[in-house]
Structure 1
Amino acid sequence: MDNVTEFRRAARALLDHLDSEKNVNASVFETNIRVVGGLISAHLLSRRAGFEVEPSWPCSGPLLRQAEVFASKLLPAFNTPTGMPYGTVNFKLGGVPRGETSVTCVAGIGTFILEFGALSRLTGDPRYEAVAMRALKAMWKYRSSLGLLGNHIDVITGSWTARDATIGSGVDSYFEYLVKGAALFRLPELDSMFREYRLAIEKHIRHGDWNPMINKDKGGVTMAVFQSLEAFWPGLLTLTGDIEGARRHLIAYHEIWRKYGFLPEFYSLSDHKAYKGREAYPLRPELIESILYVYRATRDPALIDMGVDILTSIEVSARTPCGFATVSDVTKHTLEDRMESFFLAETTKYLYLLFDENNFIHQLPGEKTSLEGSRLPSGLQCFPESGGYIFNTEAHPIDPGALNCCFAPQLDEVEQASKVETLFSDSNHLKMPNNREFDSDTNTSDQITEIDLLSTVDSVFSEHVQSQLGYSSSDAFTWIINQSSSNCFNNVYFDSNLIVSWIELREIIKSSVLENEKENDKLNKFSFLDSTKPPLLTCPYPSFQNRFGLSGLLTST
């Protein structure tokens, strides 16, 4: 909204008044999506808002440090035999409260990878992404024979305590974070997990345009209702490319809105009316969120009309002198003296963005990239604020370009150390001759030359590329040049940490071969790698925790 003055005031208030040492029991899930996610997002938006940033931004800053403080308070919750976290921690005690239940919902286990992954990549501390990935994968192991998850599970034993399979309450953001995590961090594994689960949904849960609750083991319908929280589903399908499926569900959901002017928490699919006792509408954002995503994909003007419909209902029926109130009964439009924080964080934001088509948040990756960008210590450029923003489940945008700015050089150091250790582990094989040895009568035919060492460096690079990036040619030079024509190659850090390791290892020894004109020409072929473009979110990228694991800095998850 370009209200930078208010942003700076709010950011300063957070820094001055947030207290991470209060003696309170806090939800791990809510603290993550609201506090940690909000602080990370504010940090990434701070330079655009004119906030005074540190020279090493986006890799440091007071808002980022505050986010890490709160995230560190959540880490003890993940210390369970299964890797799935408890639902509550006490900030002052720095751990899980005594007597805390070990039962947690699926969403409370699988909704961390965006915030924790972003934090790891910005700070270089791999612990956050590691525990989030471990929790995601741990939950995946407890699917039923139908490939479905229940609703609540014991994080100590792995026993299900609520067996209803649904895409709604208690589960919803697990699916959201599989899709968005795959996009933000370019992790094909998460995308595969979602697509596999989607097949199970289509086979066992979906009935026409609806997704009622079913038994995860037997597949029978246990509750024939539509939940308002399910309205996020069309937006998520849009992100996966299923536009027609998204349209079909969205139209069905909007028909309920038209019937009441709002979405009740539960709508009976058998009685075709608001479910008794669940008639409230607490100003939830999921329907308008889906409308925004589908509109961005299709530009269908009918979706703008849907947005106007929702905006009008809220303005006419929910406005009060001091804000907007929860609708306690959609059949009567009675109000409750309560306004949830997600109304401001999400509902109003998605509505605003639907009508503000030129907002920077809509910018595609690399669409309006600054030619200068920011130069990394390694010499490569990075491009924060270059589009492709991904919302967390509380509508806090995360900038993938900024993550790459910090994530690439951190990994450079790790990979360089690993490559050097590999190259020089056999000191006899890779012994560089000194001047005395050259001056002696010793036969140097068995000693490695600078050219040989360059070839060894290239072979190590090729080995890693083959396993991580689909390298298939015996000639690294030819393969790189051939790949330069692809959109993915031109728009990503082409495995920048590996490229930098390769370049810098070659730099160590190339001075002695520069007088060889032919070799010098060969080295110049790689000059184009010094200026790369921002990431396309669809390009594969090896996972952060696996790379640290390769260097022995993080145990396998």
Structure 2
Amino acid sequence: RKAAVVDAARVCWHAYKRDAFGADEYMPISRKGASVSSSPRGIGYMIADSLDTLWLAGLKTEYQDGVRFLAQSVDFDVDAPVSVFETTIRVLGGLLSAHALSGDKVLLEKARLLGDRLLPAFNTASGLPATFVNLARGTTQFYGRDETVNLAEAGTLQLEFNELSRATDDSRYRDAAQRAADVIAQLPTLDGLAPTFFNVDGKRYRAVYKWGASADSYYEYLLKRWLQLGRSQPKLRAQYDAAVRGARMHLLKTSPEDKLAYIGDMDDNKFVPVFEHLTCFAGGMLALGAMTMSDQEAKQRDLDLARDLTRACDTMYSGSPSGLAPERVRFSAAGQTPAPNAIKWSGTADMYAVPDERYSLLRPETVESMFILWRATGNVEYREQGWRIFEAMRQHAKFSDDACLVNVADVAKVPTPKKDKVETFFMAETLKYLLLLFDDDANTLSLDRFVFNTEAHPLPIF
């Protein structure tokens, strides 16, 4: 099974190298690449995101090809705004992780260069980062005129900047990211849940609380920053534990018929019964948090919730006509569809998917949770479920034997309509977590020695 995943990574990399080598993004059907910014010059998204997966898969020639390209052709002197968050988790995280695994000094040099070009994003009055930074000029932008930032984008930079400071012995990176985290920690919470959207001044905010898009990885990083820093910051663990309690109080529901546990959204004091695939990271996070608890009762409680949430995530796959999960599902009381055009998922009484949410980007969160639960419990059911998901991907996301698997436009239609795109996180995360799930050696990236950033890049624990 591991060999099959290695083969998928090899095929995808060779197709990318053939058609679009050096491009940030890859369109396998039209066999071309694209840049993530308005500049035609790439900044190494696909390559940096793939390096550690290639290394772990034993694809050393392919890995060296990627390192050589970054060393010779990528300087980050791009005169266009790029996402601070995405560039940090994918490119900076990828460079630092590959450096930690291989010891290749050129990767650390590139990481330092990129870190220097990302730092101007933090030059705001509050210290919260801007959403976009021009890597050549150091100028910044936000989504709109009101200068709103979201929780995930401001609170998911700390692992990478901590590691960059550790590896370079230069505290500027850690200090900038820590200042942003300190501002977030001052925001008023709903029983430990931080507001998802707030102004860059760190004062005005909207009463939206969730664990899905725009919030997810902030909570993940509370726990992982505590782990990364050798459990030396009890305040981080306390913030994480408070957020889990808040989620249990306000976001956690059980579907009325199927009794599936899921995490929805709170918007202006109203609960919204949606479950995003992105939120499926929570099972893995809770399991990782449980593994590092001393209180046995609390440990079991969080591990049980991790299992229950991952069961609901697995149902998103198993109930789908193609075996692939949609981007999100909705829950409803029996017999009441949440929307007129919603389809009920097979084998369920109250899980539905609506047409514009039935696409799949081959996201990693469910297999990520299965990998961590496999490490935490040794229960082989997680390997079986992960294999079923991978088989569905190979069957329904493939358009050619010599190309990457691609995004699917509607998982409820068989044969599945394809989209001309493979996300960089398919190589970085989905295939990596599958590789690790099917690796019999628990010392491969031991969870005692490494912490994974939100793009599945393993960084050393200090």
Kindly provide the amino acid, as one letter, of the partner of residue 223 in structure 2: V
Post-superposition shift, 1:215? Answer: 2.9
Among 225, 232, 237, the residue aligned to 2:286: 237
Q: Which residue of 1 aligns with 2:11?
A: none
Structure 1 stretches (4+) deviating beyond 4 angstroms?
97-101
Post-superposition shift, 1:99? Answer: 9.3
Kindly provide the amino acid, as one letter, of the partner of residue 340 in structure 1: E
1:42–1:96: structure 2 CA closer, same or farther, 3 Å change rule? same
Among 90, 108, 122, the residue aligned to 1:34: 90
CA distance in structure 1 between the aligned counterparts of 2:319 and 2:447, rounded to whole angstroms: 36
1:146–1:276: structure 2 CA closer, same or farther, 3 Å change rule? farther
1:140–1:353: structure 2 CA closer, same or farther, 3 Å change rule? same
Q: Does 1:24 align with 2:76?
A: no
CA distance in structure 2 between the aligned counterparts of 1:362 and 1:267, rounded to whole angstroms: 32
CA distance in structure 1 between the aligned counterparts of 2:388 and 2:431, rounded to whole angstroms: 14
Q: Does 1:399 align with 2:460?
A: yes
CA distance in structure 1 between the aligned counterparts of 2:408 and 2:179, rounded to whole angstroms: 39
Question: Which of the two has higher C-alpha Rg?
Answer: 1
CA distance in structure 1 between the aligned counterparts of 2:389 and 2:377, rounded to whole angstroms: 19
**Cα deviations by residue, 1:192-233 (Å, 9 ceiling, x for unpaired):** 1111111111111111311111136x3x31x21110100000
CA distance in structure 2 between the aligned counterparts of 1:178 and 1:289, rounded to whole angstroms: 18
Q: Which residue of 2 aligns with 1:273?
A: 352
Pairing of 1:480-491 with structure 2 (within 5 A):
none
Among 247, 269, 276, the residue aligned to 1:227: 276
Among 1, 6, 13, the residue aligned to 2:69: 13
Q: Which residue of 2 aligns with 1:263?
A: 325
Kindly provide the amino acid, as one letter, of the partner of residue 41 in structure 1: S
Pairing of 1:406-485 with structure 2 (within 5 A):
none
Post-superposition shift, 1:104? Answer: 1.6
Post-superposition shift, 1:9? Answer: 2.2
Q: Which residue of 1 aligns with 2:404?
A: 323
Q: Which residue of 1 aligns with 2:3?
A: none
Q: Which residue of 2 aligns with 1:254?
A: 314
Among 380, 385, 391, the residue aligned to 1:312: 391
Q: Which residue of 2 aligns with 1:541?
A: none
Please tell me whether the aligned partners of residues 184 and 202 of structure 2 are also in contact (alpha carbons under 8 angstroms).
Answer: no
Kindly provide the amino acid, as one letter, of the partner of residue 239 in structure 1: L
TM-score of the pair, normalised by structure 1: 0.63
CA distance in structure 1 between the aligned counterparts of 2:118 and 2:236, rounded to whole angstroms: 23
Q: How much is the aligned-residue C-alpha RMSD, in angstroms?
A: 1.8
Post-superposition shift, 1:243? Answer: 1.7
Q: Which residue of 1 aligns with 2:246?
A: 200
Post-superposition shift, 1:359? Answer: 6.5
CA distance in structure 1 between the aligned counterparts of 2:226 and 2:311, rounded to whole angstroms: 27
Post-superposition shift, 1:317? Answer: 0.4
1:300–1:155: structure 2 CA closer, same or farther, 3 Å change rule? same
Please tell me whether the aligned partners of residues 120 and 129 of structure 1 are also in contact (alpha carbons under 8 angstroms).
Answer: yes
**Cα deviations by residue, 1:471-496 (Å, 9 ceiling, x for unpaired):** xxxxxxxxxxxxxxxxxxxxxxxxxx
* Higher relative contact order, structure no. (Cα contacts within 8 Å, ≥ 6 residues apart): 2
1:158 aligns to what SS in structure 2? coil
2:253 aligns to what SS in structure 1? coil
Among 418, 435, 455, the residue aligned to 1:352: 435
**Number of positions where the alignment pairs a residue of Structure 1 with one of Structure 2:** 363
2:180 aligns to what SS in structure 1? helix
CA distance in structure 2 between the aligned counterparts of 1:393 and 1:100, rounded to whole angstroms: 25
1:267–1:98: structure 2 CA closer, same or farther, 3 Å change rule? closer
Please tell me whether the aligned partners of residues 179 and 191 of structure 1 are also in contact (alpha carbons under 8 angstroms).
Answer: yes
Kindly provide the amino acid, as one letter, of the partner of residue 324 in structure 2: F
2:140 aligns to what SS in structure 1? coil
Post-superposition shift, 1:32? Answer: 0.4
Among 266, 285, 288, the residue aligned to 1:214: 266
Please tell me whether the aligned partners of residues 11 and 42 of structure 1 are also in contact (alpha carbons under 8 angstroms).
Answer: no
